[in-house]
Amino acid sequence: MGKGFDLILIFVILLSVVLVMLESVTEFDQKYHDTLFTMEWIVTIFFTIEYIARIICIRKPTSYIFSFYGIIDFLSTIPLYLSYLVAGSQVLLAVRAFRLLRIFRILKLVQYIGEASQLGTALKASRTKIAVFIYVVLILSVIMGTLMYLIESPEAGFTSIPRSIYWTIVTLTTVGYGDIAPQTTMGQFIATVIMILGYGIIAVPTGIVTVEFAKHGSKGKNAEDKNLVHVNTHSCSSCGVEGHRDDATHCFKCGELL
């Protein structure tokens, strides 16, 4: 029965995200406004019941309420109620997308969570190196952006230093919108230098991450067992902890019967 509830939950989460998207498409919203509105209410009521049920089932509700998923669940439920009180509270609808992270857990995608945590470990290990890298990129952007502001005219779109820095990052990351583009020969020359820099610099994070992956990948086989995270949406009714083994009968933290 718990499995059936999980599947319905996934469906409602996906539905709620799709609803938010469809409401933003003007033509679609005008045609089917009432249907969308009704479905939005159904989703919200479902979320409300789920949220209250979770609180009731747990002896120490605060541990759930202030957990990461607890806050996201609350924020995904509240917007429709708030829209009657506060204008512009639609902003919170975006929070629902975070709920998609639950799908991993619900689907009991053990293997995927293992891989994800392995990726996470590698990224964590290269944290300081990447921070240094981003800091250098930002300083480079500030210097190059200021330089371009001084060289290029406002007609080409370089109206202020922040805008010039925005253009520099657009160029350095090889995105290249083209809404702002250098017109003078000097500006184009410096743009060329920035591009080749960006082209070369992209090698640095790749190199860092690859080396970390290689390190953690070799440990992979031994670590495989550790990665076997037991996914389970049922939280302990006593202390609210999640992540119990599927065959657990007692909470691994407080020993209470599940």
Residues 202-241 that bind a copy of itself (CB under 8 A): 202-215, 217
Q: How far is the CB of 236 from a copy of itself (least distance, A)?
A: 27
User: Which stretches of 125-251 are assigned E, i.e. beta strand?
Assistant: none
Cβ at position 243, least distance to a copy of itself in Å: 18
Which residues, numbered 147-176, are part of the site for a copy of itself (CB under 8 A)?
A: 147, 149-150, 159-166, 169-176
From 74, 30, 72, select the one nearest 51 (Cα to Cα). Answer: 74
Residue 146, interface with a copy of itself (CB under 8 A)? yes
Task: Work out which of 139, 224, 228, 255 binds a copy of itself, going by CB under 8 A.
Answer: 139
112 near a copy of itself (CB under 8 A): yes
Cα gap 254→231, rounded to integer Å: 18
Tell me which of 78, 97, 106, 248 binds a copy of itself, using CB under 8 A: 97
C-alpha dist (Å) from residue 179 to 163, 173, 175, 195: 11, 15, 11, 16
Query: Binder to a copy of itself among 13, 58, 122, 229 (CB under 8 A)?
Result: 122
- Is 167 within 8 Å of 190 (Cβ atoms)? no
Assess contact for 41 and 80: CB atoms under 8 A. Answer: yes
Instruction: Pick the closest to residue 76 from 30, 26, 15, 35 (CA basis).
Output: 15
- DSSP-derived letter for residue 32 is S
Q: Are 252 and 241 in contact (CB under 8 A)?
A: yes
CA-closest candidate to residue 131, choices 197, 205, 36, 56: 205
Whichever of 143 and 228 has its CB closer to a copy of itself, that residue is: 143
Number of H helices and E strands in the chain, helices first, is 13, 0
Residue with Cβ nearer a copy of itself (82 or 248):
82
Beta bridge partners of 92: none
Among positions 12, 55, 72, 130, the unique one binding a copy of itself when judged by CB under 8 A: 130
**Three-class SS of residue 236?**
coil
Q: Is 36 in the site for a copy of itself (CB under 8 A)?
A: no
Residue 107: phi, psi to the nearest 5? -75, 0
How many chain residues interact with a copy of itself (CB under 8 A)?
Answer: 85
Looking at the chain, how many residues does it have? 258
Q: Decide whether 204 or 239 has the Cβ nearer to a copy of itself.
A: 204
Residue number, 58 or 191, with CB nearest to a copy of itself: 191
Instruction: Using CB under 8 A, pick the residue from 200, 221, 222, 225 that binds a copy of itself.
Output: 200
Q: How far is the CB of 201 from a copy of itself (least distance, A)?
A: 9
**Which residue, 4 or 178, has its beta carbon nearer to a copy of itself?**
178
From 63, 83, 90, 237, residue interacting with a copy of itself (rule: CB under 8 A): 90
Nearer to a copy of itself, 57 or 181 (CB): 181
Looking up tokens 């410096």 gives 190
Among 123, 223, 239, 254, binds a copy of itself (CB under 8 A): 123
